[in-house]
């Protein structure tokens, strides 16, 4: 699993958990629809710290809460 895959997995988990739409997250995080689609569909090869910060803000959490998930702790996480 790549870091981008892990971020996409976390986004989908939080959208479901918080009963939030992708559109609402895009508006709250100031991430363009095209950029969000690339992340969620695995087309984006690098996710910046700024993007992760924006995602966390969009979910009304800090960056530590966003990253505090087993998907980021996997020893099989590919770092390119």
Taking residues 26-49, report their average pLDDT: 93
Indicate the SS3 state at residue 2.
strand
pLDDT of residue 80: 65
Q: How far is Cα 21 from Cα 73, in angstroms, rounded to an integer?
A: 26
Taking residues 41-64, report their average pLDDT: 94
Indicate the SS3 state at residue 77.
coil
Taking residues 26-30, report their average pLDDT: 97
Q: Looking at the predicted structure, is the pLDDT value of residue 79 above 80?
A: no
* Mean confidence (pLDDT) of the chain: 93
DSSP annotation string for 51-76: HHHHHHHHTTS-HHHHH-SGGGT-TT
Taking residues 28-41, report their average pLDDT: 96
Angle at which helices 22-29 and 3-17 cross, to 10°: 110
Taking residues 57-79, report their average pLDDT: 90
């Amino acid at each position: 699993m790549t870091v981008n895959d892990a971020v996409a997995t976390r986004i989908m988990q939080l959208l479901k958990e918080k009963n939030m739409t992708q559109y609402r997250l895009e508006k709250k995080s100031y991430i363009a629809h095209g950029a969000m689609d690339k992340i969620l569909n695995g087309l984006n090869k690098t996710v910046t710290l700024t993007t992760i910060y924006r995602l966390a803000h969009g979910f009304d959490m800090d960056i530590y809460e966003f990253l505090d998930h087993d998907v980021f702790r996997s020893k099989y996480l590919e770092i390119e």
